[in-house]
Homo-oligomer: A and B are copies of this chain.
Amino acid sequence: MWDEARLRFGGDWNPEQWPERVWAEDVALMRRARVDLVTVGVFAWSRLEPAPGRYDFGWLDRVLDLLADNGIGAALATPTASPPPWFSLAHPGALPVTADGVRLHHGSRDTYCAAAPAYRAAARRIAGVLAERYAHHPALALWHVHNEYGTVCHCEHAAAAFRAWLVGRHGDLAALNDAWTTSFWSQHYSDWAQISTPRATQYLANPGQLLDFRRFWSDTLLAAYTEQRDLLRAANPAVPVTTNYVLGDWVPVDHARWAAEVDLVAVDHYPSAVDGGAEEQTALAADLARGWARHGARARAAGDGRRPVPGDAAGGGAWLLMESAPNLIYTAGRMHTKEPGRMARHSLAHVARGSRGAMYFQWRAPVGGAERFHSALVPHAGPDSRVFRETVELGAILDRIAETDGAAVEASVALGWDAGCGWALQHPGLPSQLVDHHEEVAAAHRALWRAGFGCDVVLPGDPVDGYALLVLPALYLASDAAARWARDYVEGGGHLVVTWLSGVADEHARVRTGGYPGAFRDVLGVRVEEFHPLADGDEVALAGGGVGRIWSEGVGLAGAEVVRAYAAGVLAGQPAVTRHRHGAGTAWYISTRPDDETYRRLLTDAALAAGATPTCPAAPAGVEAVRRRGAAASWLFLLNHTDRAHRVPAAGVELLTGVAVDTAVEVPAGGVAVVREAPAAG
């Protein structure tokens, strides 16, 4: 059902949106494009169950048979992301409620509360019926549960579930009152019943409550997922099960933690930048997905050991790009049409970083519905179009590089990330509204990407011994264990870079006293008394060139030496970047957000000092290099994001052209080369 060494290609196919006569054309076009996996049924609940308990599977039977007949696999979805209108009418109490108490209506998608028993029961029922009917269908390649879990709710069901979850987390009210510091503003709870979700209130909300609500909701959505997964698994344990992650700061899901519960991490990725930023966002999304997958695989290995998607030679880092936009980039306020070749380059960037294929939303552009102008492989113009022609070409390319499937991605740097930090930094009352964990991770990743270092995303506690460098950007929350983890790494000889706002708070978002950066003060050899956040748009000059933005700090030395000082402003002459020999290792502290070029230089210095080397040191700026390593070979992916061709040193065989490469390969403007490297380079 899921073979090794083949890259999947396809997308969401919604035959229910079209008359049956269109289906045959669809499948013929899929074959022309070498499509071998399509997601089916994501939003089909109202067609599969037009009335409570009354099912109409005939059309889906025909769809799946048609796929099987044509050798195309199905990622069969449970349709629970969009209950039918009849459900809302039968169960108005299962409609979601905003923090203001507004009960939302159906008429879009995702109009349910994941904590509402009626919703959960209906979702289990339709999932169970699908499992029973299709678990052994020859087209079935993968179960695709739900779609982009991510909506929240503040109804009474949610509040009751929150209370139950809090009992589980804190045990008794005294512990909760302590964790949430309810002594501030007279919020002491004397009965569990007094606790609600963080509904609209008069002024600033409690940070502990906000953080726990986010964690609770991630667990609630996860429970909604796992109960469907268990039904599907029970019907046929051989078929892997997953759900597609939606990315975004607003998403109340701890993707890394969820990774232990999916058989294949699946990610939907839509960059928002239209220029080179889109490439950087793509690389980060792929590295995050792979990092989550590795984190999950370890957790799973410690659990049931189940790993049903074969062919993962990447240490559990296999994942799948489940959705992306063929020819559009969605920016604020408008859609940007990708330049010719960019669709393939974006897709191959994901494949280079471990995606086991390239999937799109959606196959054929619909004529109506809210997303009628969303990108598609078969656009409104039809198959006689640039987009579909590029689709056919990309299908052929994926075939030619199929051997890379499952190979490990080379990385010498580990980059810390934590969902909880992201949530905690969205709370009110922080010293600056510009602080954002995801943005800081992205900035560090961008610096590493520009410096050309391969990078794995890790969570605090993940094994990091194999990496030359560990970078922890704005790791605001740090438990004692996380502090110990970083300290052990350095004392064992590791090189660590920590940036501002890290370690300030514990896992309950309570500030650590005695001086910032709390949890990491000793390993960094610094002590900060006061923050100096910068105004939006302001910058502070750094000695040696470059500027800092967003934030600055009065860094007191407590063992560390100065690498860079502030060169202007109230902190002029005081340390901006420091380095501390600690144990057998070195720990750097960066107390501001450097501009991209300065950040690139700082991390390059730290990485080289740590013994890391770039993936392809001779690659020119704008040419992204990623190396994959399999059991018997290595492959160098070269993605040319510039508008002119570049020659890059390499030796082996370029797979797209089949041409042997002696000393260098020419990568076309905006194009991609994949070189199976000669053993010497391996």
Contacts and interface: CB of A to CB of B under 8 A. Distances in A.
A84 B513 CA distance: 27
A585 interface: no
B190 A86 contact: yes
A115 to B, nearest CB: 15
B43 A429 contact: no
A631 interface: no
A325 to B, nearest CB: 12
Given A104-B200, A373-B429, A83 B186 contact: yes
B368 A184 contact: yes
- Among A185, A202, A511, A535, max chain B CB count under 10 A is at A185
- Among A200, A203, A209, max chain B CB count under 10 A is at A203
Contacts of A528: 381
B189 A532 contact: no
A343 to B, nearest CB: 12
Contacts of A334: 431-434, 533-536
Interface stretch (A130-138, A346-354, A382-390): A382-390
Given A380-B516, A434-B334, A530-B337, A201 B108 contact: yes
Interface in A186-215: 186-191, 193-196, 198-209
Interface stretch (A65-73, A175-183, A457-465, A591-599): A175-183
Interface string A335-368: 1110100000000000000000000000001111
A89 B43 CA distance: 40
Contacts of A446: none
A183 B386 CA distance: 27
Interface in A372-399: 372-374, 379-382, 385-387
A167 B209 CA distance: 44
A186 B433 contact: no
B530 A387 contact: yes
A379 B79 contact: no
A187 B85 contact: yes
Nearest to A41: B186
A201 to B, nearest CB: 4
A50 interface: yes
Contact of A50 (B185, B188, B207, B516): B188
Contacts of A513: 365, 367, 380-382
Interface stretch (A94-102, A288-296, A485-493, A611-619): A94-102
Contacts of A516: 380-381
A195 B533 CA distance: 48
B201 A387 contact: no
B186 A46 contact: yes
Contacts of A96: 202
Contact of A108 (B151, B185, B382, B533): B185
A532 B188 contact: no
Interface in A448-500: none
Contacts of A369: 181, 183-185, 187, 206-207
A220 B104 CA distance: 25
Nearest to A188: B46
A549 to B, nearest CB: 12
A327 interface: yes
B17 A184 contact: yes
A342 to B, nearest CB: 11
B180 A368 contact: yes
Given A188-B85, A190-B84, A196-B107, A368 B509 contact: yes
Contact of A111 (B105, B202, B371): B202
A662 to B, nearest CB: 35
A31 interface: no
A534 to B, nearest CB: 7
Contacts of A181: 17, 366-369, 372
A479 to B, nearest CB: 15
A171 interface: no
Query: This chain: how many copies in the complex?
Result: 3
A196 B105 contact: yes
A107 B205 contact: yes
Given A101-B103, A107-B205, A431-B373, A511 B368 contact: yes
B432 A187 contact: no
Contacts of A372: 181, 184, 207, 429, 510-511
Interface in A42-69: 43-47, 50-51
A318 to B, nearest CB: 30
Interface in A84-133: 84-86, 88-89, 96, 100-111
Interface in A526-558: 527-536, 554
Interface string A307-337: 0000000000000000000010001011111
A427 to B, nearest CB: 8
A184 B18 CA distance: 10
Contacts of A195: 85
A529 B201 contact: no
A225 to B, nearest CB: 18
A412 interface: no
A630 interface: no
A185 B432 CA distance: 39
A381 B514 contact: yes
A508 interface: yes
A302 interface: no
A622 interface: no
Contacts of A510: 367-368, 372
A82 interface: yes
Nearest to A535: B334
5 contacts: A101-B102, A108-B185, A334-B536, A336-B533, A373-B511
Closest 3 CB pairs of A and B: A181-B368, A184-B369, A204-B370
Interface of A: 14, 16-17, 43-47, 50-51, 79, 82-86, 88-89, 96, 100-111, 151, 180-191, 193-196, 198-209, 327, 331, 333-337, 339, 365-374, 379-382, 385-387, 428-434, 508-516, 527-536, 554, 570
Given A104-B199, A207-B368, 13 more contacts: A14-B183, A45-B186, A46-B188, A84-B188, A86-B191, A100-B100, A107-B196, A108-B202, A185-B369, A206-B369, A334-B432, A373-B430, A381-B513
